[in-house]
Amino acid sequence: MAAVAELRATFASGKTKSYDWRVSQFKAILKLTNEHEKDIIEALRSDLNKPEHEAILYEICGVKKSAKLSLKELRRWMTPEKAKTSLITFPSSAELVSEPLGVILVISTWNYPFVLSFEAVIGAIAAGNTVVLKPSEIAPATSSLLSKLIGEYMDSSAVKVVEGAVPETTALLEQKWDKIIYTGSEKVGRIVAAAAAKHLTPVILELGGKCPVIVDTKANLEVTARRLILGKWGSNSGQTCVSPDYILTTKEFAPKLVDALVRELKKFYGKEPLESPDLSRIINSSHFNRLTKLMDDEKVSGKIVHGGQRDKTTLKIAPTILLDVPEDSLIMNEEIFGPLFPIITVDKIEDSFNVINAREKPLAAYLFTNDEMLKGEFVESVSAGGLSINETTLHSATLTLPFGGVGESGMGSYHGKYSFDAFSHKKPVLRRSFAGEVAARYPPYTPEKQRFLKAFLDGNIIDVFRALFGW
Ligand code: NAD
């Protein structure tokens, strides 16, 4: 593939390794974002009916935040990290030198198509690589805008956009890459991992899963309800990988929580949520049909306590709450990735941990409580890509924390310095002088030399003297 060959040649020239080149590309990203804010908002509206507020805060500000952090920190990130040495190599010094991997493939997704594309591209550039971005064809307006803007503003000998669907992705996956980052479903994640294995290419898989949220009785109900709404419906109508997927709460607390959610939902989106300009639509009719099937499953259709309205022509589904859904229902057996919020009730809040741990490891898990013991147990016993306590989704926007899954929710992580690390090889370098010769290392090997070295390596000073002086 000509594009990959050109990127390899650019990488081999050493151009992308320079600090100045990396900085110039971050500046280009900031410039294109600033100069085309309106176009970006329009593309996101066209693809998802994403409200301007969400487009600016989560997508545009997200890209700027990431580019600015990389601008500010790059020198520090590029500086070799000192490592301790031991007596064995005395006298010596050691360090870890970060070197770029080469040519990176970014296969991006449709739900945050602007920020998630650039987040990975920024990481690849920060580490000094060349990169191909394959935006998602499922968000076509943003895909074509990314292709146009990156072509106009960035160094096209080092950063390329390849648009397309399954055939184009398949062709890209046949190439040899130095690292692939894929964001999307587990099903396609397996295809990417299998293709990468043929070339022994390392992969970062940013997948999904069912992210649980536990709501304890000792929680501020109003704040909890608002933050749950923001994490679920205020984040792309639930089409967010870290959106809370289902709620776990006690039987007696569930009606109070439902009341609080309904009260706040009405304040936020009015009595006719399908008319609200502040809710994204569902990305396409196949996801719309998938979601309505989950709602209409006979095991849960009678459990809808709020919402349920849908409009096939606008692809909108109202915020919908389902109470006491059975665990063997369809909605509890796949990632919802949409505006449906089922509640499972438990006798004791601690029982929630077993419900979560009986399932695949989620990308994120949440707890709302003021109970310090419960917080401790949650952190100790729930395995997930990341956790937030008394908040939803925000850990993933904290650039000082790595973002990624564990087990079935993905492998590898990125964001901020973790992106720089993810796209670098940490090359260990040991430096010695010609001093510090130890004759016992060299042949001819003798029992005395072995006794001395064994005592030395064991750190047993008395035995070292015994071996040296024959005590
Ligand atoms: P998807 O993005 O997983 O799949 C569609 C994409 O895969 C398309 O771009 C398509 O071209 C490509 N594709 C499909 N079949 C292919 C094949 N056989 N070979 C090569 N490429 C192929 O779409 P989706 O299922 O709608 O995505 C939703 C999932 O993505 C959810 O599970 C969600 O949690 C996850 N997600 C995760 C994150 C994250 O950061 N962890 C972010 C967004 C979405």
Give the tens place of pLDDT for each residue, 378-433. Answer: 999 999 999 999 999 999 999 999 999 999 999 999 999 999 999 999 999 999 99
Q: Which of 208, 212, 178, 211 is nearest to 196 (CA)?
A: 178
Q: Model confidence over 43-54: pLDDT tens digits?
A: 999 999 999 999
Q: Is 177 exposed, middle or buried (CB count within 10 Å of its CB: 0-12, 13-18, 19+)? A: buried
- Calculate ∠ Cα 32-34-36, nearest 5°: 65
Instruction: Give a yes or no: residue 465 inside a domain.
Output: no
Domain that holds residue 20: 2-207+414-426
Residue 387 included in any domain: yes
Strand (E) or helix (H) holding 93: strand 92-100
The CATH number linked to 201 is: 3.40.605.10
Which tokens sit at 87? 């007596």
Residue 461: pLDDT over 90 = no
Region for 88 from its dihedrals, namely left if φ exceeds 0, alpha if ψ lies in -120 to 50, beta otherwise: alpha
The answer to whether residue 19 sits within a structural domain is yes
240 and 135 belong to one structural domain: no
Same domain, yes or no: 227 and 133? no
Report yes or no on 450 lying in a domain: no
In a domain, residue 134? The reply is: yes
Protein residue closest via CA to atom 42 of ligand 1? 241
Instruction: Say whether both 191 and 225 belong to one domain.
Output: no
At 224-274, the pLDDT tens digits run 999 999 999 999 999 999 999 999 999 999 999 999 999 999 999 999 999
| CA-wise closest residue to 240 among 286, 272, 208 | 208
Residue 60 has a pLDDT of 98
Please check whether residue 247 is in contact with residue 344, taking contact to mean a CB–CB distance below 8 angstroms: yes
Q: Do 236 and 307 belong together in one domain?
A: yes
Q: Which atom of ligand 1 is nearest to the CA of 165?
A: 11
Quick check: CB of 297 below 6 Å from ligand 1? no
With DSSP H G I counted as helix, E B as strand and the rest as coil, what are the percentages for the chain, rounded to 5?
50, 20, 35
DSSP for 198-233, written as a single string: HTT--EEEE-----EEEE-SSS-HHHHHHHHHHHHT
Mutate to test the pocket of ligand 1, among 142, 163, 241, 288 (most ligand atoms within 8 A of CB): 241
Kindly report the backbone phi and psi dihedral angles of residue 229, in degrees, each rounded to the nearest multiple of 5, phi listed first: -65, -45
Share of the chain above pLDDT 70, in %: 100
Q: Is the peptide bond before 339 cis (omega within 30 degrees of 0)?
A: no
Of all protein residues, the one whose alpha carbon is nearest to atom 22 of ligand 1 is: 166
**pTM of the predicted protein model:** 0.95
- Closest by alpha carbon to 277, among 27, 31, 45? 45
Q: Do 129 and 226 belong to one domain? A: no
Q: Are 64 and 159 in contact (CB under 8 A)?
A: no
Q: Are residues 142 and 254 located together in one domain of the fold? A: no
Active-site residues, by number, are 206, 241
**Closest atom of ligand 1 relative to the 405 alpha carbon:** 41
pLDDT 10s digits, 292-314: 999 999 999 999 999 999 999 99
Task: Tell how far the Cα of 109 is from the centroid of ligand 1, in angstroms.
Answer: 6
Residue whose Cα lies nearest atom 1 of ligand 1: it is 184
- Any domain includes 464: no
Tokens standing for 287? 């996801």
232, 374: one domain: yes
pLDDT at 459: 85
Contacts of 444 (CB under 8 A, 6+ apart): none
Asked whether residue 409 is domain-assigned, the answer is no
Asked if the model's pLDDT at residue 468 lies above 80, the reply is no
In single-letter form, the type of residue at position 3 comes to A
Going from the Cα of 137 to the center of ligand 1, the distance in angstroms, rounded, reads: 10
**Centre of ligand 1 from the C-alpha of residue 315, in Å:** 20
Q: Which has the closest alpha carbon to 114: 32, 181, 170, 176?
A: 32
335 lines ligand 1 (CB under 6 A): yes
Q: Tell whether ligand 1 has an atom less than 6 A from the beta carbon of residue 362.
A: no
Q: What is the total count of domains within the chain?
A: 2
Q: Are residues 153 and 67 in the same domain?
A: yes
73 and 95 in a single domain? The answer is yes
Residue 256: both structure tokens together: 């109070």
In a domain, residue 12? The reply is: yes
Does residue 193 sit in the same domain as residue 226? no
Ligand 1 geometric centre to CA of 433 (Å): 52
State residue 345's pLDDT score.
97
> The domain that contains 293 carries what CATH number?
3.40.309.10
Regarding whether 229 and 292 lie in a shared domain, the answer is yes
* Residue listed under structure tokens 């593309």: 43
Residue 253 and residue 171 share a domain: no
CA of 350 to the centre of ligand 1 (A): 34
Identify the pLDDT of residue 172. 98
